[in-house]
Amino acid sequence: MQAWSSPLEAELFAPRRVSSGRPNHAVAPFSPGLPVHNSPVRTKNCTVKSYGVDGKDDSEYILSAIKQCNNGGHVIFSKDKKYTVGTALDLTFLNSIDLDIQGTIQFTNDTDYWQENAFNQTFQNATTFFQLGGSDVHVYGGGTLDGNGQVWYDLYAEDIYTLRPILFGTIGLKGGRIEDLKLRYSPQWYNLVANSSDVVFSNIDIAGDSVSTNPAKNTDGWDTYRSSNIVIQNSNINNGDDCVSFKPNSTDIVVQNLICNGSHGISVGSLGQYLGEIDIVKNVYVYNVSMSNASDGARIKVWPGISSALSGDLQGGGGGGAVSNITYDGMVISNVDYAIEITQCYGQKNLTVCSEYPSNLTISDITMKNFKGTTSKKHDPLVGYLVCSSPSVCGNITIANIDVTSPSGASTFECGNIEGIESQVNCTKAI
């Protein structure tokens, strides 16, 4: 009989564990063109203990198991257990490890602790409950990560400067797959992918609305930032902001086979927010998206060249850079306010002022094609908005095979400062 040196070791290595088979969803039909991450079989297993008491922090057990099985192991969060996390966990040291989340991980509702201790990710005051990084990491198992968001939705309604943590922080990950998970009730964005490369997200189910009169705001599905060779695919997203958003310096990205509901669309940006910063988004392919009950389908949003305020906690303008080689191919829309929106006046409602101070960030080589469906009544008869701040910083935009109508049957776009757009769509001049 095996003799364990400690109760913790017995728990970690006992043979009663049941592990999930590692999924391997094909990256298809498109890929960023670079090799997709694969990794060898793990050689040891660790099962994470839980106190089993609602509200008691299991972080010490989680961290211990991960350290035991780092560098070639498989960590199991058991299917019949709920794990409570009340400590900000820095997991950026991971190497060659599988995190098999079969049960539920719930973050505590201690808003004072998290505002003080969540990890600051610098961009747009973003913070995360934890940060997962390193190299060769797989996360899967069919389980749930729960951000306990309701207390945050109510708190944000009282104070818009509340720092609400992001549920899943992929920070500095070089090579990994995150698959077969349910993400629920995030206080803010569900996923931030920052300073990462060669990562695939597949079969992720996102949901979690407010049960009070205070809405769940800014709950983006994914935000990519300073990252490349990223795939987001085969997922279902019910949220209250961008379904996917490509933030500054996101390159070589494929988004495909998504069902989005209640969102603000698949968005490039916002970009050009910070004076003196250079934002690049290029080589992005978005394919086969179902978009329902949303403000936008395909969206590119850039700040103008002058300081502007969208809201008290979101303002900017004057930054530089470029958006290039972006394709949206195949989108079915239903009850979406604008099927397509391109703006270089984000945060600035006065188009005269926007034209006087055109964006320092250029938009070029954009293709949006094969859209069909019906917009909402909000902008009827308009189905889209294509307005740049100046034709000198916005061009080579192709809009093709757009079979989208408003409820009244019209298919009109509001257009401005984009050369040649009138020959592609039915335009009315921007006010």
Q: Which residues are tagged catalytic?
A: 264
CA neighbours closer than 13 Å in the CB half-sphere of residue 67: 10
Which residues contact residue 246 at a Cβ distance below 8 angstroms, ignoring those fewer than 6 apart? Answer: 224, 253, 267, 268, 269, 281, 284
Which residues contact residue 131 at a Cβ distance below 8 angstroms, ignoring those fewer than 6 apart? Answer: 89, 90, 91, 92, 119, 121, 169, 171, 172
**CB 60, CB 51: distance < 8 Å:** no
For residue 397, the SS3 value is strand
| Cα–Cα dist 411/406, whole Å | 6
Sign of CA dihedral 120, 121, 125, 129: negative
Q: What is the dihedral angle through the alpha carbons of 346, 185, 229, 75, rounded to the nearest 10 degrees?
A: 160
Segments of 185-265 assigned E as strands: 191-194, 197-207, 222-225, 227-238, 244-246, 250-261
